[in-house]
């Protein structure tokens, strides 16, 4: 995905809590679009192969949650995690990890991931079609910075993870903002 390119318009089928619904599953369907998530905001979007998978659940998503306030300090208004999983899976994953800050986006059909050019086959792992691991800084629906893991391919034997880590993105944002403002970088 080239920098300065507008992200594709997609409608996501989400499940949101609704206290007016009784019973053990008080959720209703809500359609949210890319405009809802990205319009008029500077955000970090990161996408990963799947909910409940090892690197995604023990490193990437928990680290974005832990470093959320640091992203806010460099002008990021929200952090979104997107995966080719349905809303039920994404909600269960967020609950299992105790997420409070990072928002999850279910790309159940893979439409957004496909339109971003990041849909890959992971049949070698029994996953089917999934997202390649990447991240982006998106400013008012336009890609400002892009972080893609190396080795993009179908049925990749490895699971690279460094370029799209929150630590790398934060470092890049601090350096970018420092250069733009003419300041000396601050290391945390």
Would you list the DSSP string of 124-136? GGT--EEEPPEEE
Cα angle 155, 160, 165 (rounded to 5 degrees) comes to 135
Facing residues of 148 across strands? 134
CB atoms within 10 A of CB 45: 22
C-alpha to C-alpha distance for 58 and 29, rounded to whole angstroms? 29
Q: Which of 48, 51, 56, 116 is catalytic?
A: 56
Strand, helix or coil for residue 44: strand
CB 49 within 8 A of CB 127: yes
Q: Which residues are paired to 79 by β-bridges? A: 44
Confirm whether 156 is a catalytic residue: no
For residue 73, give the nearest of 186, 165, 168 by alpha carbon. 186
Active-site positions read 56
């Amino acid at each position: 995905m080239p920098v300065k390119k507008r992200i594709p318009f997609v409608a996501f089928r989400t499940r949101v809590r609704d206290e007016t619904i009784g019973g053990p599953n008080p959720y209703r369907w809500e359609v949210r679009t890319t405009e809802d998530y990205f319009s008029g905001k500077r955000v970090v979007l990161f996408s990963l192969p799947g909910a409940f998978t090892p690197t995604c659940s023990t490193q990437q998503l928990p680290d974005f949650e832990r470093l959320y306030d640091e992203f806010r300090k460099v002008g990021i208004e929200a952090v979104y995690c997107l995966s080719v999983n349905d809303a039920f899976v994404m909600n269960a994953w967020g609950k299992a990890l105790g997420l409070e800050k990072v928002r999850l986006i279910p790309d159940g059909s893979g439409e957004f991931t496909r339109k971003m050019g990041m849909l890959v086959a992971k049949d070698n792992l029994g996953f089917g079609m999934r997202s390649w691991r990447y991240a982006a800084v998106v400013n008012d629906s336009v890609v400002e910075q892009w972080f893609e893991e190396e080795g993009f391919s179908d049925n990749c034997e490895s699971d690279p993870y460094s370029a799209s880590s929150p630590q790398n993105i934060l470092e890049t944002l601090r350096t970018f903002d420092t250069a733009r403002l003419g300041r000396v970088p601050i290391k945390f």
